[in-house]
């Protein structure tokens, strides 16, 4: 396959580049407006009881229990004054003027009925703010209300529809900001890494193809299913990062082959140079791209659209970046030839001979030799450091997406905090129960009241609302919690309510119930996702190396790296370390979906760099070097490139640490940490020390597997050459 690709790139370079350009333009035209076709949220699983409870109440009453608009009205004259009641009516009428008649009537009624003397819990503890609650307000209506009240300084709007709109807007804005930060920095760093302007332009070009192709794929997929807007951030970061990695691997090897072939500046290299480049670096990129795509594809097994969208977007961008690096980039190199080294300023010039020098010299060779002289203590110290960093993960607390993901300047966040700190505890987002009774049953009301009295006696209950008939034999009972939202006390209460005996079917919903259900849903699918990642990684690395131990060791090292990243995220985002420097307010917990997504991304990227290092070690070994020398030569050949690739990737994906949404910030920082740890402690210390300790056992495989790999390798070489 690679031989055919190199021949195609050499003979039909202009045609290949024209096709790549057409594909990119189509991706930009069709996929450029993909944001309008993506949705916020996507964190629920339709099979969860909490989701079914919300659906049941929505069908019965016509109002989504989760779509509740909250408005905190400041009343400096005092909430119990006539002026305050007039202010509430005025605000309701002003907002209602922007709505359709039916919705306007509900809002007007809410303002007219807002009498603080009748509902003390709707008045803030300081007596200078009043809460208006309007159910059944979706994102579109919330947007109209926000526009109608935008000029008022005495109203703060919040609740789920406002939070969703603000998240969408901030994500889109942060995406543009991250692009403005990442692209110039990546280009400047590429200029330094590639030592020339021409070569430095190649990663952004490959990245543009990858991002445009992934946007096109997401746009088409959005026609068939609902996708999350969060996927765009991952596509941009991963697309640029993988483009850098693959371009660096291929261009570095191409330069090395030019020097080895003795091609002078200005001469046109023969097809052999490109063929050898794809047979070596191209093979590495192929294996790497497949493992990254498989790692992200593991997220497709989850029912949550957020994770599904991330998995789809990540898989698409990995595969398109792989295709661009193996098809479009070789064609461009074929046209450039030695001009790939062109436009190199004097202070950045580096002799191409340095890339082809004997691999028994240089910093990374000396480092590997030093590590392998003391392999056991270095391996133990490195593993202990990563385990110590991972230890905070044992105390992780989980949460779900709510207003706390927003920056503190957003009204949705401010309303949430004011409810938590300034109003009665019973106004905390409640647990609610949907009780189904036979339609027309005269004893239904008494049974539901009796059941609600049992709920009132449970620990951690602040109050229980009188059962409200929503229609069609469905009753709603709201349960206020003594804690806030979905803290551990609320989770215990959810389980206790579900355990209560009831003569009628009961579905429990609300934020705390959602968190309980989501953890169970993710846990049920986690083994399948882990199996996909591990099995594909083992198969790909076995196909590349012929060893059984090297793939197992790679999986264990990846898990160690991911564990250290999780521990660091707990320190940063749960305990709030460096929160002022990083610019966020800690939610005191980690979103349930983040570890899964960061694990998939980090696992794929760790395997990415591992494949590159192992391929050069294996190449040196096949050339006759002993195991000790092969490891040192492999690290010398890849040390600078992996470090540069990691640095560039950290800039590309780390730009999302500037996001004002905590979840996006977690993705950027978590992924960047995984890359840094893997490119330093793992690749520079753990890998060479463990390779030295295992010696020839690194390459062991059972007889049948070894013979299978020999047959496959011989066919691969014939196909590649």
Whether 315 has a pLDDT exceeding 50, the answer reads: yes
Whether 657 has a pLDDT exceeding 60, the answer reads: yes
CA distance 302 to 721: 41
Q: What is the pLDDT of residue 139?
A: 76
Q: What is the pLDDT of residue 569?
A: 93
Q: What is the pLDDT of residue 296?
A: 92
Q: What is the pLDDT of residue 642?
A: 82
Structure tokens of 623? 């050339």
Of 102-106, 351-355, 401-405, 629-633, the least confident: 351-355
Of 175-189, 212-226, 432-446, the least confident: 175-189
Q: How far is CA 580 from the centre of its chain?
A: 22
Q: What is the pLDDT of residue 209?
A: 92
Of 48-52, 324-328, 439-443, 503-507, the least confident: 439-443
- Model confidence band, residue 355 (pLDDT cutoffs 50, 70, 90): very low
Of 588 and 552, which is predicted with more confidence?
Answer: 552
Overall average pLDDT of the 82-93 stretch = 84
22 burial via Cβ count (<10 Å: 0-12, 13-18, 19+):
exposed
Highest-scoring range by mean pLDDT, 188-192, 432-436, 598-602: 432-436
Q: What is the pLDDT of residue 356?
A: 46
CA distance 175 to 186: 16
**CA separation, residue 650 to residues 330, 530, 671 (Å):** 25, 25, 8
Segment 513-541, tens digit of pLDDT: 998 999 999 999 999 999 999 998 898 88
Least Cα distance to 625 among 278, 368, 374, 378 occurs for 368
Least Cα distance to 697 among 553, 538, 557, 535 occurs for 553
The percent of residues above 90 in pLDDT, for the chain, comes to: 24
Structure tokens of 391? 């230890």
HSE-up of 243 (CA within 13 Å, CB side)?
34
- In the chain the domains, ranked by start, together with CATH numbers, are 2-41+195-324+341-351+362-399+517-713 (no CATH), 68-165 (3.30.70), 411-516 (3.30.70)
Segment 114-148, tens digit of pLDDT: 566 567 778 888 888 888 877 777 778 888 888 88
Least Cα distance to 277 among 288, 286, 268, 290 occurs for 286
CA distance 67 to 166: 14
Give the bridge partners for 690, in sequence order. none
Q: What's the mean pLDDT when you consider all of the chain?
A: 84
Of 322-331, 411-420, 444-453, the least confident: 411-420
Q: What is the pLDDT of residue 84?
A: 84
Structure tokens of 656? 């999302």
- Model confidence band, residue 425 (pLDDT cutoffs 50, 70, 90): low
Segment 594-647, tens digit of pLDDT: 889 888 888 888 888 888 888 888 888 888 888 888 888 888 888 888 888 888
Check: CB of residue 55 under 8 Å from CB of residue 112: no
Whether 278 has a pLDDT exceeding 70, the answer reads: yes
Structure tokens of 280? 């070596």
Using CA atoms of 96, 97, 101, 104 in order, give the dihedral in degrees to the nearest 10. Answer: 0
Check: CB of residue 53 under 8 Å from CB of residue 398: no
Give the bridge partners for 436, in sequence order. 474
SS3 628: helix
Whether 652 has a pLDDT exceeding 80, the answer reads: no
CA distance 455 to 68: 24
SS3 717: helix
Length in residues, the chain: 721
| End-to-end C-alpha distance for the chain, whole angstroms | 9
SS3 459: coil
CA distance 72 to 407: 18
Q: What is the pLDDT of residue 131?
A: 86
Q: What is the pLDDT of residue 661?
A: 83
Whether 352 has a pLDDT exceeding 50, the answer reads: no
Q: What is the pLDDT of residue 374?
A: 92
The percent of residues above 70 in pLDDT, for the chain, comes to: 92
Least Cα distance to 596 among 178, 232, 301, 230 occurs for 301
Whether 192 has a pLDDT exceeding 50, the answer reads: yes
Segment 25-35, tens digit of pLDDT: 998 888 888 87
- Crossing angle between the packed helical segments 231-260 and 594-622, to the nearest 10 degrees: 10
- 463: part of which helix (H) or strand (E)? strand 461-464
- Crossing angle between the packed helical segments 511-545 and 549-569, to the nearest 10 degrees: 150
Global pTM reads: 0.82
- Model confidence band, residue 351 (pLDDT cutoffs 50, 70, 90): very low
CA distance 654 to 672: 6
Highest-scoring range by mean pLDDT, 160-169, 497-506, 702-711: 497-506
C-beta neighbour count of 534 within 10 angstroms: 19
- Model confidence band, residue 358 (pLDDT cutoffs 50, 70, 90): very low
* Residue linked to tokens 């994906």: 653
């Amino acid at each position: 396959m690679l031989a055919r690709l190199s021949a195609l790139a050499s003979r039909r370079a202009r045609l290949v580049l024209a096709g790549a350009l057409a594909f990119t333009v189509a991706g930009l035209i069709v996929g450029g407006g993909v944001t309008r076709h993506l949705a916020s949220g996507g964190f629920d699983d339709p099979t969860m009881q909490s989701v079914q409870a919300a659906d049941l109440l929505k069908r019965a009453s016509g109002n989504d229990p989760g779509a509740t608009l909250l408005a905190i009205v400041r009343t400096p004259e005092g909430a119990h004054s006539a002026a305050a009641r007039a202010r509430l009516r005025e605000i309701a009428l002003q907002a209602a003027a922007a709505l359709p008649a039916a919705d306007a009537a509900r809002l007007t009624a809410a303002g007219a009925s807002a009498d603080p003397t009748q509902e003390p819990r709707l008045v803030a503890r300081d007596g200078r703010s009043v809460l208006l609650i309007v159910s059944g307000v979706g994102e579109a209506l919330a947007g109209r209300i926000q526009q109608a009240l935008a000029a008022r300084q005495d109203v703060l709007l919040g609740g789920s529809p406002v939070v969703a709109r603000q998240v969408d807007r901030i994500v889109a804005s942060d995406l543009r900001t991250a692009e403005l930060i990442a692209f110039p920095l990546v280009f400047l760093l590429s200029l330094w890494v590639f030592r020339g302007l021409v070569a430095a332009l190649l990663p952004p070009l490959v990245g543009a193809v990858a991002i445009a192709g992934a946007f096109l794929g997401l746009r088409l997929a959005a026609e068939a299913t609902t996708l999350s807007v969060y996927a765009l951030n991952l596509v941009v970061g991963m697309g640029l990062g993988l483009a850098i990695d693959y371009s660096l691997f291929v261009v570095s090897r191409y330069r090395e082959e030019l020097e080895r072939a003795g091609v002078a500046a200005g001469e046109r290299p023969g097809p052999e140079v490109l063929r050898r480049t794809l047979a070596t670096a191209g093979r590495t990129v192929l294996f790497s791209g497949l493992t990254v795509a498989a790692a992200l594809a593991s997220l497709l097994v989850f029912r949550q659209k957020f994770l599904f969208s991330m998995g789809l977007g990540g898989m698409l961008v990995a595969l398109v970046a792989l295709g661009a690096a193996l098809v479009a980039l070789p064609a461009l190199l074929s046209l450039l030839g030695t001009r790939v080294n062109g436009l190199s300023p004097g202070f950045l010039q580096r002799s191409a001979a340095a890339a082809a020098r004997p691999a028994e010299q240089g910093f990374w060779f000396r480092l590997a030799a030093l590590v392998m002289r003391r392999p056991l203590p270095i391996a133990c110290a490195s593993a202990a450091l990563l385990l110590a960093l991972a230890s905070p993960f044992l105390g992780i607390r989980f949460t779900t997406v709510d207003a706390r993901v927003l920056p503190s300047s957003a009204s949705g966040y401010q309303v949430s905090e004011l409810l938590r700190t300034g109003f009665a505890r019973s106004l905390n987002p409640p647990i609610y129960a949907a009780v189904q009774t036979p339609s027309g049953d005269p004893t239904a009301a008494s049974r539901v009241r009796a059941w609600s009295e049992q709920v009132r006696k449970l620990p951690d209950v602040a109050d229980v609302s009188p059962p409200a008939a929503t229609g069609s034999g469905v009753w709603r009972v709201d349960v206020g919690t003594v804690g806030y939202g979905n803290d551990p006390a609320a989770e215990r209460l959810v389980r206790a309510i579900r355990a209560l005996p009831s003569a009628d079917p009961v579905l429990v919903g609300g934020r705390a119930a959602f968190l309980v259900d989501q953890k169970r849903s993710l846990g049920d699918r986690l083994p399948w996702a882990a199996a996909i990642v591990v099995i594909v990684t083992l198969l790909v690395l076995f196909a590349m190396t012929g060893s059984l131990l090297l793939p197992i060791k790679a999986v264990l090292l990846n898990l160690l790296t991911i564990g250290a990243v999780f521990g660091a995220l707990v320190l940063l985002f749960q305990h709030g370390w460096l929160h002022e420097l990083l610019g966020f307010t800690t939610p005191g917990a980690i979103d349930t979906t983040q570890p899964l997504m960061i694990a998939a991304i980090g696992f794929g990227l760790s395997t990415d760099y591992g494949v590159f290092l192992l391929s050069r070690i294996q190449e040196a070994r096949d050339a006759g070097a002993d195991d000790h020398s092969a490891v040192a030569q492999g690290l010398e050949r890849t040390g600078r490139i992996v470090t540069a690739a990691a640095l560039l990737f950290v800039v590309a994906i780390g730009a999302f640490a500037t996001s004002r949404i905590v979840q996006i910030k977690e993705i950027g920082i978590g992924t960047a940490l995984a890359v840094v740890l893997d490119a330093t402690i793992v690749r520079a210390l753990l890998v060479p020390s463990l390779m030295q300790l295992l010696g020839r056992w690194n390459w062991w495989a059972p007889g049948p597997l070894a013979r299978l790999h020999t047959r496959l390798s011989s066919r691969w070489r014939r196909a590649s050459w």
